[in-house]
Amino acid sequence: MNNLQTPQKPQTVEEFSDAELLRVARLTRLALEEGEKRELAATLGRIIGFVRVLQELNTDGIEPMVHPLDLKLPLRADEVTEPDVREDAQACAPDVARGLYRVPRVINPA
């Protein structure tokens, strides 16, 4: 079985209770109408069926990977390439203290 095959026996709509469907809808922040329960159950069945197919794949000897492509990122020296312009930027600020911008309070303490 390859990873592109769909499951031969997906979970059926009847295997999900109304409580399970409503819980999934709540967790995913979906507004679920009464008529949409069968569609959600069918979709969940396909997803679970696909996961079952993935679980059947033999992954012995296959190392986990971060990205599907074997990319090599170019490395460069960790050195400063931009000048420090903080003093220039803060020279036009209305209020600066110890190198930080000060702003007026907008929320009064309770």
| pLDDT tens track for 69-109 | 888 888 889 999 999 999 999 999 999 999 999 998 888 87
Q: What's the rounded Cα separation, in Å, for the pair 45 and 103?
A: 54
Specify which of 14-18, 49-53, 90-94, 106-110 reaches the highest per-range mean pLDDT: 90-94
Among 4-18, 31-45, 74-88, which stretch is predicted with the lowest mean pLDDT? 4-18
Q: Which of 48, 47, 46, 40 is nearest to 19 (CA)?
A: 40
Q: According to the model, what pLDDT value does residue 108 have?
A: 80
In DSSP notation, 35-103 reads GGHHHHHHHHHHHHHHHHHHHHS--TTPPP-SSSS---PPP------S---HHHHHHT-S-EETTEE--
Confidence of residue 1 (pLDDT cuts 50, 70, 90): very low
